[in-house]
């Protein structure tokens, strides 16, 4: 009889950073990319926020894959992306990335005094579910959570895991023409958050499913020096 088994293993995760952890920091940002993206490319959206008083950390999802078909029998020149999870063995993948992000957070704050900075966590698209589960179920704490281009995962129990979200500032960001974050989805999420007494603010912009530079700059400026 075939049976499924699981074996915890150690592996090497990759992340990128903008800013100097030894500098006069005011904020530390953790920004999690969407499905099929890579951390280095995603971090380029945040280069304008690298003003000397921010450290911006972009973790990369643990599962990479070719997002283009092989050409001439090889993937040598095919683009690569990463995914935080799929439906296959999803619970194990969720547990793995929560442990990974907690470990990364702990490493960052071995160098940076945690109480001296404001921590902002931003998830884009698939990264929204990732950061939501991480902060709700992990050991890390943030001051502000930005959910951009998606909504909270339906399987996140806000009655059991909502305490961490009540303690931070929650901002939901969605483009007016984002087909993956419809008005109906936003309304359903607002009702769900209200039932769990989790306050949030909705920010809209004229655009689609992308990080919009002016909106990002405005969010960052809200807590300027």
CATH of the domain at 120: 3.40.50.1820
Residue with tokens 């689609």: 208
Please check whether residue 158 lies inside any domain of the structure: yes
Q: Are 178 and 128 in contact (CB under 8 A)?
A: no
Q: What is the pTM of this model?
A: 0.94
The SS3 call for residue 192 is: helix
> Which tens digit of pLDDT belongs to each residue from 86-137?
999 999 999 999 999 999 999 999 999 999 999 999 999 999 999 999 999 9
Please check whether residue 187 lies inside any domain of the structure: yes
Please check whether residue 6 lies inside any domain of the structure: no
Please check whether residue 7 lies inside any domain of the structure: no
Which of 214, 215, 210, 219 lies closest to 42 in space, CA to CA?
A: 210
Which of 101, 90, 99 lies closest to 58 in space, CA to CA?
A: 101
> Which tens digit of pLDDT belongs to each residue from 163-200?
999 999 999 999 999 999 999 999 999 999 999 999 99
Quote the tokens at residue 63: 């599962």
Number of structural domains the chain divides into: 1
Domain extent for 187: 15-68+77-221
Please check whether residue 9 lies inside any domain of the structure: no
Q: Are 15 and 57 in contact (CB under 8 A)?
A: yes
> Which tens digit of pLDDT belongs to each residue from 40-82?
999 999 999 999 999 999 999 999 989 878 777 778 778 889 9
Please check whether residue 138 lies inside any domain of the structure: yes
């Amino acid at each position: 009889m075939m049976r499924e088994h699981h074996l915890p293993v150690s592996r090497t995760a990759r992340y990128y950073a903008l800013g100097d952890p030894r500098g006069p920091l005011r904020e530390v940002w953790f920004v999690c990319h969407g499905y099929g993206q890579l951390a280095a490319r995603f971090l380029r959206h945040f280069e304008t926020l690298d003003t000397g008083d921010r450290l911006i950390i972009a973790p990369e999802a643990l599962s990479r894959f070719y997002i283009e078909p092989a050409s001439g029998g090889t993937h040598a020149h095919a683009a690569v992306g990463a995914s935080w999870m799929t439906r296959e063995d999803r619970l194990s993948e969720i547990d793995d990335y929560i442990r990974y992000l907690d470990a990364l957070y702990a490493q960052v704050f071995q160098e940076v005094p945690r109480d001296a900075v404001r921590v902002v966590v931003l998830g884009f698209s698939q990264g929204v579910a990732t950061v939501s589960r991480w902060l709700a179920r992990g050991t890390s704490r943030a001051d502000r959570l930005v959910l951009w281009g998606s909504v909270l995962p339906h399987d996140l129990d806000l009655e059991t895991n909502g305490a961490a979200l009540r303690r931070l500032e929650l901002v939901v960001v969605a483009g007016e023409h984002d087909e993956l974050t419809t008005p109906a989805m936003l309304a359903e999420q607002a009702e769900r958050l209200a039932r769990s007494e989790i306050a949030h603010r909705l920010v809209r912009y004229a655009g689609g499913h992308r990080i919009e530079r002016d909106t990002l700059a405005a969010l960052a400026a809200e807590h300027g020096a």
